[in-house]
Amino acid sequence: MNDQSLWYLENIDVTGIFCPQKLSFNQEHFPHKEFSKGEYIYFPDDLSDKIFFLFEGRVKIGAHSDSGKEITKAILGRGEVFGELSIIGEEKRRNFAVAMEKTTTCIVGKDEMKSLMRNHSGLNLFLMKIMGNRMLEMEQRLESLVFKDSRTRIIEFLKNLADKKGQRVGYEMLVRKFMTHQEIANLTATSRQTVTTVLNELRNKNILTFNRRRLLIRDMSNLESEGKA
């Protein structure tokens, strides 16, 4: 599946709705803002009054435990949405959002979003799907944490990553902008050393190959079988 397809649901082109050039709006109507690598978009306890549509770049959503340990909840890419809880009653942010590279977002106020939802019926379904998918992903991660070992969690994460953001190339599946081992560890509640060990093992079995820029899964069925081993 191509990342760009994430913008589409029930024949609604979200880039068309929020692109000022397509609707002849000026930048003040739907402001586009660039964030540098490492720049925070919002912090916990900030006022939750905006929704962000990610046009370019990557954003990490996370929180910190009482002991100060960082918890990564999601890593989002082009065509994804964040900050959406503001439209269902969140008054202050519970998480932080930080740009992982140079990032461009379109920012929509929650009141304006509610107005758009009234005028564009497909938006309701679009946002419901986003929030529903996020909830399912969190439930799956919790179940995986409770019932599966570290190796299985990492393999399952790689499979889900390919299913969601991979691009089929012949019989292989390509994921561009592959994550660091530490980022995968944060998302799977494992250690960086364990992630490195599992990835090297899978590479030695010729199931996948990877570098800092991409992941190439040579056979999805073999990867899935490894997760059941």
- Count of all residues that appear for the chain in the document: 229
Which helix (H) or strand (E) element contains residue 196?
Answer: helix 192-204
Rounded CA-CA distance 186/42 in Å is 20
Q: pLDDT by residue for the chain (229 residues), tens digit each? A: 333 333 333 334 455 555 444 433 344 556 788 999 999 999 999 999 999 988 889 999 999 888 888 888 889 888 788 998 888 888 999 999 999 999 999 888 888 888 878 877 777 777 777 788 888 887 888 888 888 899 999 999 999 999 888 888 888 899 988 989 999 998 998 999 999 999 999 999 999 999 888 999 998 888 988 877 6
Domains, in order of start, for the chain: 3-145 (2.60.120.10), 148-228 (1.10.10.10)
Q: Which of 221, 198, 197, 218 is nearest to 208 (CA)?
A: 218
Rounded CA-CA distance 60/95 in Å is 10
